[in-house]
Amino acid sequence: MTHLVLAPMEGLVDWRVRQLLSATGGFDLCVTEFIRVSQNLFPAHVFYRYCPELLQGGKTASGTPVLVQLMGHDPELMGENAAFAASLGAPGIDINFGCPSKTVNKREAGASLLKCPDNLFNIISAVRRAVPDHVPVSAKIRLGYADKELYLDNARAVEAAGAQHLTVHARTKVEGYKPPAHWEYLARIRAAISIPMTGNGEIWSVADYAKCRDISGCDSFMLGRGAIAAPDIANRIKAYDVGQTLAKQSWSVVLTMLLTYIDLMVADDATENHQAGRIKQWVAMIRKGHDQAADCFDQIKRIRDIGELRAKLSEDRDNPENQRQNDQIAAE
Ligand SMILES: Cc1cc2nc3c(=O)[nH]c(=O)nc-3n(C[C@H](O)[C@H](O)[C@H](O)COP(=O)(O)O)c2cc1C
């Protein structure tokens, strides 16, 4: 059975989104947003903020394990932080070598480390040494920084440093998030290493998944924006694998999930200033997965008050036209 991972997405996939999407089903693993390691050993509360799941055995409420992702350039400091995260109960440590952010890359972290495979080797080896044997260490890379010249060397460095798993976002840093993702490179990397590998990039539908699987030969995939746009995509992929076709979630089911997201945010003051922004950002991305999201976004894009936003989304969910469509989907 295909293994599906919910992608780490800074500013987008927090513990609430992990909770909602893992409860929707189909995901086998989640990864936190990156924790930027630059100067010191973080206190426990920082790890709990990024990964409150550490307080419940390192799993989401529905039982999906959550890896803690670290990003930084100093091998020893990365090792110390990884060891501490492991001592707090992280079920695994993932290391980010893919972040394209200008600030991060200026400080030699994220994707800029791909310019030299030794960088990957040194950081991963230090983390592997620092973390107890039973805690897996994994790395997430892109195909390169400016070009793809080093993609195999980088993948081999990840394996040689002792990582248990590699995830490859099939684009260079310079290619950013622009389609296409180069799935054919995933097959070449798989052939060059013997640790398990997850393919990532530009899977927005079950058809994309099937094509990526055929081209890459991977049996594990990470879903990022596609899972935000269509929160049930992992379930539909799993159904496809066993020869079934699951109807796409109706718009009113998606709205119910968004309303739960609001409830989770409102119950947790920490993000008060960002609440409306987070919802609008999510609805904007759902436009790619659900036609009704475009109208909804137009209606909410100027709303700043979370209560008003909640009322608008509830009204839309209870709209008889959306309910009718819901029944129609259920009957299909
Ligand atoms: C807003 C945003 C934030 C991201 N944050 C992270 C991150 O914190 N760590 C990471 O490894 N990748 C991060 N990524 C990259 C994704 O995990 C994924 O590799 C990328 O979006 C490609 O997959 P997709 O085409 O399925 O979206 C981020 C991507 C986006 C769009």
Q: Is 272 part of a structural domain of the chain?
A: yes
Residue 69 assigned to a binding site: yes
Q: For the chain, how many structural domains are there in total? A: 2
Helix, strand, or coil (residue 164): coil
Q: Which residues pair with 5 in a beta bridge?
A: 29, 222
Q: Which atom of ligand 1 is nearest to the CA of 12?
A: 1
Structure token digits, residue 207: 């058809």
116 flagged as catalytic: no
* Ligand 1 centre distance from Cα of residue 7 (Å): 6
The pLDDT of residue 189 is above 80: yes
The pLDDT of residue 104 is above 70: no
Q: How far apart are the first and last CA of the chain?
A: 26
> pLDDT class for 12, splitting at 50, 70, 90?
very high
Catalytic residue among 51, 99, 218, 296: 99
* pLDDT recorded at residue 330: 56
* Whether residue 47 sits in one domain with residue 112: yes
Q: Residue 311 belongs to a domain with what CATH number?
A: 1.20.225
* pLDDT recorded at residue 327: 57
| Residue 262 structural domain | 251-331
Computed over every residue of the chain, the mean pLDDT equals 94
Backbone angles phi, psi at 323, to 5 degrees: -65, -40
For a mutational test of ligand 1's pocket, the pick from 5, 6, 9, 142, i.e. the residue with the most ligand atoms closer than 8 A to its C-beta, is 9
Residue with tokens 């055929």: 214
> pLDDT class for 123, splitting at 50, 70, 90?
very high
* Whether residue 260 sits in one domain with residue 237: no
* Whether residue 60 sits in one domain with residue 12: yes
* pLDDT recorded at residue 56: 97
* Whether residue 149 sits in one domain with residue 15: yes
* Ligand 1 centre distance from Cα of residue 8 (Å): 6
* Whether residue 107 sits in one domain with residue 77: yes
* pLDDT recorded at residue 321: 77
Mean pLDDT in residue range 41-45? 97
Other Cβ atoms less than 10 A from the Cβ of 247: the count is: 13
Q: Is 319 part of a structural domain of the chain?
A: yes
Other Cβ atoms less than 10 A from the Cβ of 79: the count is: 22
